[in-house]
Structure 1
Amino acid sequence: MTQRTRRLPNTYRVATAAAVAGTALLSLAAPTQAAPDGPNYVAMGDSYASGAGLSKVKDTACDRTTGSYPTTLSGTPAGKNRAFKDVTCSGATTRSIWNHQGSTPPQINALTPNTKLVTLTIGGNDIGFTDVLATCALVAFSDPDGSPCKKYFTNGKDVLGERINTLEGRVGGVITDIRRHSPDAKIVVVGYPALFPDNGVGCAEVPFARQDFAFLRDTTKKLNRALARRAAAGGTGVVYADTYTPTIGHDMCQPRDRRFIESLAPAKGTMAAHPNSLGQFVMAAAAYDRIINS
């Protein structure tokens, strides 16, 4: 890595401070107390919540790591004295909430009437985002300056838009079922960060056609808007945590020392197109703000 000689942007310094603060909170938090009839804080969701790709793996099958935003939250005042249960799992879809994911039990099984806090990050796998990225890279050669991936997914119908519409209803069902199992829980629907440049201008390191960066940015925003609507419709005690805004300018196209999201050629100890350690801290900070200020 090259030596840094320039002043770091304010947004990066703020995020770094948040990460340091999160580390301090982890070290100062009181030991978690066992709940008499189940965990007080349950983390649910996919690889963006499990901290996939980071070091210190605590569950190999689901790629859960200690660097995940739920683990960070569990050590802050929001998780203080709450028994913590992490059932996040890489590859999870909304089906994984109610059904086994391989040998992993349904995530909903972790909830009890005693659960007081639930964080949920879900939906990316429902719309097939991994396959979308692979397709965008595959078709890029056919029109490097155009938007061949957008054409692929909007040829006669808006494929991804329809998937997001379907997902929105399913997330509503997930929220309803969480409330049924844990009527007193605060539910925090945690959105997805800015994977792609918010200005729509791409980079050579990420092998997509030039205009497809804007298409992928817009798809991420559509997904987040759907999640935010479901949270707003969930009633009292359901909130949405925006992780997109605080990660603008730290997408996979940024220099390595500014990224919160890894590129398709990730650094060691990270996963392609996923939050790195600092990105997970920023997601934790966004969720924490909604927990204590709503």
Structure 2
Amino acid sequence: MGPLARTGIGVALTCGVLVTAVSIGQNSDNDSQKAPATAPHKETPKGPYVALGDSYTSGPKIPPQTGDPAGCDRSGRNYPALVAKELGLRTADFRDVSCSGATIADLTAPQSTDHGTNPAQLSALATTTKLVTLGIGGNDIGFSSVITKCVTTGTLFKLADKLTDITDKAPCKEKYTSGTDEVTRKIRATGDRLARALTEIERRAPKARVYVVGYPAILPAKGTACSRDMPLAPGDVTFLRQKQQELNTMLGERARASGATYVDTFTPSAGHDACSPAATRWIEPLNPSSPAAVVHPNEHGERGMATAVLSALKS
């Protein structure tokens, strides 16, 4: 996802297979059964590593801002950079092509930014690529726009002094779910696009282990805990949190269906949302207290996401 108005908002399941080889000698005098073979060990994937994704991957406004084009807002301390450092990768074995505002379409086509054009992200892949992380989807469903509209609606309700009496009111939810659930419809359509993108990643990088990285929790479980930092109607806090979980569920399902691994960052981010104390939050609210884009991960958040990815890699 990316900064509001331009960029989008936003435990790996690994299966071990134990192969047991049993051999029975044909000579009755020398019949014997071999001991079971040990389970094959999957080494933690190293480089070449390519990081794909939107602004929740790139880390806008987190210093130092690096890379080309400048409009992609990549941080030298985003989770791909931290993962690459932990894996001990050489500069030549790590490419971060994530970009603020990226959608799934930008994986296969150039993306224009305020400062330069980012080449199609999948152009960074090669047959020698061994590790790929992908964090994308929030911009495809327009989650930034949804949050912006819900904040505006919540602010109006607060000014009208209605939130104190109607704690379960969800005016924004009513707007998006009257008739057809617009957000759910977009999530489903995004899932189809993601499936095709994962197939293309596999075609271009057949030796790579692919990890689809979900989005950390933006809002708390209780809507009443968010009125100061994010002026949302309490019912809309619950609505937006549910839609983010719905998006993450789709990402996990599509990842597993394609043979990729899903990295859950939502669970470890519990209690670190935009409405939590400044010292512990992973996501900055409308008025950031540390260098980060509005409603985006700060350095703590990127570090937490890196920890989740590394845990998945080593599982």
1:249 and 2:263 matched: no
Judged with a 3 Å threshold, the aligned counterparts in structure 2 of structure 1 residues 62 and 81 are, in CA distance, closer, same or farther, namely closer
Contact 1:42 1:87 in 2 (8 A): yes
- Helix, strand or coil for the counterpart of 1:187? strand
Measured in 1, the distance between the counterparts of 2:288 and 2:246 equals: 25
Q: 1:116 offset after TM fit, Å?
A: 0.3
Mean Cα deviation higher: 194-203 or 261-270: 194-203
Equivalent in the alignment of 1:68: 78
Equivalent in the alignment of 1:8: none
Judged with a 3 Å threshold, the aligned counterparts in structure 2 of structure 1 residues 190 and 82 are, in CA distance, closer, same or farther, namely farther
Measured in 1, the distance between the counterparts of 2:91 and 2:77 equals: 20
Aligned residue type for 1:123? G
Contact 1:78 1:288 in 2 (8 A): no
User: 110, 116, 135: which one pairs with 1:121?
Assistant: 135
Contact 1:42 1:111 in 2 (8 A): yes
Measured in 2, the distance between the counterparts of 1:78 and 1:185 equals: 18
1:57 and 2:65 matched: yes
Can you list the C-alpha shifts for 1:244-294, whole angstroms capped at 9, x where unaligned? 00000010111111111111111242111111101100100101111121x
Aligned residue type for 1:262? E
Measured in 1, the distance between the counterparts of 2:101 and 2:188 equals: 20
Aligned residue type for 2:221? D
User: 287, 291, 294: which one pairs with 2:313?
Assistant: 291
Measured in 1, the distance between the counterparts of 2:258 and 2:199 equals: 7
Measured in 2, the distance between the counterparts of 1:124 and 1:232 equals: 19
1:221 and 2:245 matched: yes
Mean Cα deviation higher: 107-116 or 70-79: 70-79
Long gaps (5+) in structure 2: 1-45
Contact 1:78 1:292 in 2 (8 A): no
Contact 1:51 1:63 in 2 (8 A): yes
Measured in 1, the distance between the counterparts of 2:153 and 2:178 equals: 14
Relative to the length of structure 2, the TM-score reads 0.78
Q: 1:78 offset after TM fit, Å?
A: 7.1
Measured in 2, the distance between the counterparts of 1:244 and 1:268 equals: 21
Can you list the C-alpha shifts for 1:57-90, whole angstroms capped at 9, x where unaligned? 1032100010100000111127468700110000
Measured in 1, the distance between the counterparts of 2:250 and 2:92 equals: 30
- Helix, strand or coil for the counterpart of 2:212? strand
Contact 1:118 1:188 in 2 (8 A): yes
Equivalent in the alignment of 1:275: 297
Judged with a 3 Å threshold, the aligned counterparts in structure 2 of structure 1 residues 80 and 246 are, in CA distance, closer, same or farther, namely farther
1:156 and 2:179 matched: yes
1:100 and 2:89 matched: no
- Helix, strand or coil for the counterpart of 1:119? strand
1:88 and 2:98 matched: yes
Measured in 2, the distance between the counterparts of 1:78 and 1:172 equals: 31
Q: 1:199 offset after TM fit, Å?
A: 3.5
Measured in 1, the distance between the counterparts of 2:61 and 2:174 equals: 31
Bigger relative contact order, structure 1 or 2 (CA pairs below 8 A, ≥6 apart): 2
1:40 and 2:48 matched: yes
Relative to the length of structure 1, the TM-score reads 0.83
Measured in 1, the distance between the counterparts of 2:48 and 2:229 equals: 43
How many positions carry a matched residue from both structures?
Answer: 254
Measured in 1, the distance between the counterparts of 2:223 and 2:92 equals: 41
Contact 1:192 1:224 in 2 (8 A): yes
Equivalent in the alignment of 2:234: 210
Cα RMSD (Å) of the superposition?
Answer: 1.7
1:189 and 2:212 matched: yes
Q: 1:53 offset after TM fit, Å?
A: 1.8
Can you list the C-alpha shifts for 1:105-125, whole angstroms capped at 9, x where unaligned? 110100000000000000010
